Amino acid sequence: MSSPINKLVFNWYLYMNTNLVLEFQRSSAADTRAPAYLRLRHLLRQRVESGAMGPGHALPSERELAAQLELSRVTVRKAISGLVDDGVLIQRRGAGTFVAERIVKPLSKMTSFTEDLRARGLNPRSVFLGREVGEVTPEEAMALNLSPGSLVVRLHRLRYAGDEPLAEERSAIPQAILKDPASVKDSLYEALDALGCRPVRALQRLRAVDLSAAQARQLKVPAGSAALAVERRSFLADGRLVEFTSSWYRGDAYDFVAELHGE
């Protein structure tokens, strides 16, 4: 603890945790009905989303947190395990609990790119390479269950976290559902939500691929780098298909995590 850097790190750690204790006390006073583990989970999630706890930030141990917040260790464990399941926190055996650095995407949750990044305190952005209305291609017609000649809105986007490109995405949406391509600003799901047409279910296919030279250039990785190619076909509650999206996620930035159940 003698070097100035160590002292600085220690003071910062103390400061962050003092804030956590104060905020937890405040949240407890404001909402006495929600169980303590949910309040703590909410608070930790908020701190990650706001960037107060950035990627790689180490959380105090379960024992320390329990003592500081005057909670049982079971309660603290329950709060943390939910965030681990959601990919917000990761646990390394023997080392502790950290804010996830790679973007860990739970496969069972139908979240949007924007939501995944915000949940990690990152700043999602889209750069449009194309935004148009056109007649369905045979592939889009099959994927979206549309008849030949129907119109679709096509979006071709580079998806960023701040200045860092993470994925390339091509989406087709029936124009009968999304009239105006310009209504999509950064997030497709926000635009669909505003129309009361957010998808509730999706079929998704994942493949490992090598990026083409052009894709690698756009995503600022070496030519031939690995990517996860994801195809998503999403449905509205009434069964209509609402999107057919092909995404190429940088292999070095994303982890896809799925929980599996026996039977």
Where along the sequence are the contacts to ligand GLP (CB under 6 A)?
A: 112-114, 169, 171, 187-190, 230, 232, 243, 245, 247
Q: How far is the CB of 188 from ligand GLP (least distance, A)?
A: 4
Q: How far is the CB of 32 from ligand GLP (least distance, A)?
A: 35
Instruction: Give the nearer residue to ligand GLP in terms of CB position, either 82 or 124.
Output: 124
Instruction: Give the nearer residue to ligand GLP in terms of CB position, either 23 or 115.
Output: 115
Q: What tokens appear for 4 in the block?
A: 């100035």
DSSP code per residue over 230-247: EEEEEE-TTS-EEEEEEE
Residue type, position 220, single letter: K
Instruction: Give the nearer residue to ligand GLP in terms of CB position, either 78 or 109.
Output: 109
| 3-state percent helix, strand, coil for the chain, nearest multiple of 5 | 35, 30, 35
Q: How far is the CB of 245 from ligand GLP (least distance, A)?
A: 3
Instruction: Give the nearer residue to ligand GLP in terms of CB position, either 20 or 143.
Output: 143
In three-state secondary structure terms, 58 is strand
Residue 152: beta bridge partners? 134, 174
Q: What tokens appear for 168 in the block?
A: 């390339």
Distance (Å, whole) CA 241 – CA 235: 4
Q: How far is the CB of 117 from ligand GLP (least distance, A)?
A: 8
